[in-house]
Every structure is written in C-alpha cells, then in structure tokens.
Amino acid sequence: MKRFPSIKKNSDFQIVYRTGKSYANRQLVVYVKRRKDKKKLIGISVSKKVGNSVIRHRITRLIREIFKLNQDILEEGLDIIVVARSAAKGSKYKVIESAFLHLCRQHNILRKSE
C-alpha cells in the first residue's frame, strides 16, 4: 500500500507556518507554501480545543480523504497545512470539503481546466 504524502516533522510545519500564506474560513485555516519539486504534501492539525480524540481523529480522516479525492485538481509542488477550527466539530463531509475547496480557490492552487 502506498504511503500517504504528509508532513510529519514539527520543523517542517514551522517552516510552512512562517513562510507560507494563509487563508481561513469558518471551518478551516489553510497554509500553503510552494516547493521546488513536484510533490504535494499535506499536514493536518486538529487542536484539543476542537474536541476529544474521537472527534479529532474523525476530522483528520475527513480532511485526509478530501485531499486524496481532490489532489488531482491541485497544482504540483505544494506544502499544504490544514488547521481545523472548532466549528468543524459537528460538520458533515460536504461542508468541510466545500470549505477546503473554497480556501484552495482563494490560494489560487486549483489547476486551470484545459
């Protein structure tokens, strides 16, 4: 099974936080930084303020699935960090997906349709 392309190290998160650009809406905050290579990596951060571990892991799984299903429409060479806000706690899949795609449009990282 292929590994999920994710950002794991705290130092990598800090680089994106410091040098990347961020946009936010009610459910999510998305930080984006360009990479030199063609990889697309995602980091997911869900604070304890959002809820207990069951809720945090559910939101993490939803964001990971949204990224996996929509990564073909994202540009190449990006480090993306998604931070869940407490409003995402009770949200359905479609609400979080539309929030993620809305922020991707704001960052202008969606591929242009040919």
pLDDT for the residue numbered 1: 61
Is residue 1 one of the residues assigned to a domain? no
The predicted pLDDT at position 33 comes to: 95
Compute the distance between CA of residue 112 and CA of residue 73 in angstroms, rounded to an integer: 8
Which residues have C-beta within 8 Å of that of residue 26, sequence separation ≥ 6?
85, 87, 99
Contacts of 30 (CB under 8 A, 6+ apart): 22, 23, 24, 80, 81, 82, 83, 100, 103, 104, 107
Residue 5 resides in a domain = no
* Domain contains 72: yes
pLDDT at position 3: 78
Best CA proximity match to 5, nearest among 104, 71, 90: 71
Is residue 92 one of the residues assigned to a domain?
yes
Q: Determine the pLDDT at residue 113.
A: 63
How far is the C-alpha of 99 from the C-alpha of 42, rounded, in Å? Answer: 16
79 domain residue, yes or no: yes
Domain annotation covers residue 3? no
- The reply to whether 73 falls in a domain is yes
CATH assignment of the domain containing 99: 3.30.230.10
Instruction: Look at the block and give the residue holding tokens 């990889």.
Output: 39
d(CA 59, CA 57): 5
Domain that holds residue 30: 10-107
Q: List the chain pLDDT tens, one digit each, 114 residues.
A: 677 889 999 999 999 999 999 999 999 999 999 999 988 999 999 999 999 999 999 999 999 999 999 989 999 999 999 999 999 998 999 999 999 999 999 999 988 764
Q: Strands, DSSP E only, in 19-97?
A: 21-24, 28-34, 40-46, 78-84
How many domains does the chain divide into? 1
